[in-house]
Amino acid sequence: MFEEMRQSLVSVMSKIFETMFFLDIEPQEMGKVPGSPVALLPNPPGVGDQSGGFIRSSIRFEGPRSGMISLILPAVLAQLMAKNFLGLEEEEASESQTCDMARELANIISGNLLPVLDRKGSYSLSLPKTEPSAYPGLNHPGSRSGCAVDLDVEGHWVQLSIFFDE
Amino acid sequence: MAYHLLIVDDSPTMRKVIRKTVTLSGVELDECWEAGDGREALEILRCHPIDLILTDINMPRLNGLEMLKEMQKEQRWRKIPVVLITSQDNHEHFRETAAWGVKGYLQKPFHPETLRDLLSRMEEEKRV
């Protein structure tokens, strides 16, 4: 069950990153703590440039099961993705463009992921939120049901997680 | 046919990308307006002649479905073709809204060709 969910997360991320950003992702073996709250390691694996901190974008879903889907991206990678997505040539993506892209990405991932995990269920999504932070922090503390995948995206550590309310 | 297009999405990034995708797909635009939610979209509809709407569903203030319901109250807006561009794979939405001028449904992310094919099909149906 856990492995199936993990595969679904990887497959949805792969499809979206390839279609939207022409980026390949490589799943890592970390972040897998079945049956317990997921606490990220002090030093996220597959390290890339973390100098700008991280951006976490999250979205709540309500339906047959409720919970939270979160995506954590290094700010450096998020800014590069926003720049490419918007087709900016000379200029860098601004902070607001970067956060907007991260929110939309969480929205698209959630919309694609939930029907894969539950074909018959109908879910409503909240508006996505972003929070920049120096450190990724805990993932949905208190929840014991869910899954997180760590991914290598062009040498940067990225994490996607889904956690269900108790 | 050159469209007077209205793009409705709460994400400025997505609006920009959708506009670019429309251009890349070879669709001719006469004018293109953008709105960040359903309320802004209705304001634009009041002032400009729009003949195609590409709209998201999940938006603050007035979402895409609420906007479509409002559009049904105005005779002149009822026949404007609408394409839903949304992250959720929810065909129920499309079935529910077919009577409200919704001609197509695209799930994000999508390729420019998919949008081009959908618009070509819509033009063909209109001719028939």
Q: What is the pLDDT of residues B84-116, one digit of tens each?
A: 998 987 667 777 787 787 888 899 998 888 888
Find the closest chain A residue to B12 by CA distance. Answer: A100
Q: Is the pTM of this model over 0.80?
A: yes
- Given a cut of 60, whether residue B56 has pLDDT beyond it is yes
**Between A42 and B34, residue with greater pLDDT:** B34
Residue of B10, B11, B89 lying closest to A115 (CB–CB): B89
**Between B8 and B21, residue with greater pLDDT:** B8
DSSP assignment of A129-160 = EEEEESS---BSTT--EEEEEEEEETTEEEEE
**Between B1 and A88, residue with greater pLDDT:** A88
**A19 and B90: CB-CB below 8 Å?**
no
Residue A118 CA, chain-centre distance (Å), reads 19
Residue of A82, A85, A112 lying closest to B89 (CB–CB): A112
Distance in angstroms (rounded) separating the CA atoms of residues A96 and B47: 29
User: Would an 8 Å CB–CB cutoff place A106 in contact with chain B?
Assistant: no
**B108 and A111: CB-CB below 8 Å?**
yes
| Inter-residue contact A41 to A21 (CB < 8 Å) | no
Sign of CA dihedral B16, B21, B23, B28: negative
Q: Give the CB-side neighbour count of residue B83, counting CA atoms within 13 A.
A: 24
Tell me, what's the ipTM? 0.86
Find the closest chain B residue to A81 by CA distance. Answer: B13
**A13, A23, A62, A104: which to substitute to probe chain B, counting the most B Cβ within 10 Å?**
A104
**H or E segment and range at residue A16:** helix A2-21
pLDDT at A136: 65
Residue of B90, B92, B109 lying closest to A108 (CB–CB): B109
User: Would an 8 Å CB–CB cutoff place B95 in contact with chain A?
Assistant: no
pLDDT at B54: 96
pLDDT at A43: 47
Residue A91: what are its φ and ψ, rounded to 5°?
-75, 155
Distance from CA of B75 to the nearest CA of A (A): 30
